[in-house]
């Protein structure tokens, strides 16, 4: 567990991938070093992922590259309010 804003820039992002291209687009997104995971959801925005970069400009460049490579607009949802949840982990 760490404070996300202390390690650079990050965002939760989503895009609406055509069903017939979902696996291909997911693979392209997963191949990017800025993306640590992605997952499918049952929603118009059916592919969600978390992207991180050293700063906001590099994050924006990565999201722009994803848009160009996939042909899908990326919806970026950066953290607005940070909350501390004590999970009791040792």
Which of 50, 23, 26 shows the shortest CA–CA distance to 37?
50
CATH 3.40.50.2300 fits 4-74, yes or no: no
* For residue 58, pLDDT beyond 60: yes
**Is 47 buried (19+), middle (13-18) or exposed (0-12) by CB count in 10 A?**
buried
Q: What is the pLDDT of residue 4?
A: 53
CA dist 8 and 61 (Å) reads: 14
Domain ranges of the chain: 4-74
Q: For all residues of the chain together, what is the average pLDDT? A: 89
Give the pLDDT confidence of 3-13 residue by residue, as tens digits: 555 668 999 99
CA dist 84 and 86 (Å) reads: 6
Count of all residues that appear for the chain in the document: 90
Q: What is the pLDDT of residue 80?
A: 74
* For residue 53, pLDDT beyond 60: yes
pLDDT category at 2 given cuts 50, 70, 90 is: very low
């Amino acid at each position: 567990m760490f404070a996300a804003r202390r390690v650079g820039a990050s965002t939760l992002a989503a895009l609406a991938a055509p069903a017939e291209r979902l696996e291909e687009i997911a693979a392209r997104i997963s191949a990017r070093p800025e993306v640590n995971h992605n997952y499918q959801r049952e929603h118009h925005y059916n592919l969600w992922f978390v992207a991180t970069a050293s700063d906001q400009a590099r994050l924006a460049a990565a999201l722009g590259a994803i848009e160009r490579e996939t042909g899908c607009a990326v919806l970026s949802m950066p953290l607005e309010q940070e909350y501390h949840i004590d999970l009791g982990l040792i």
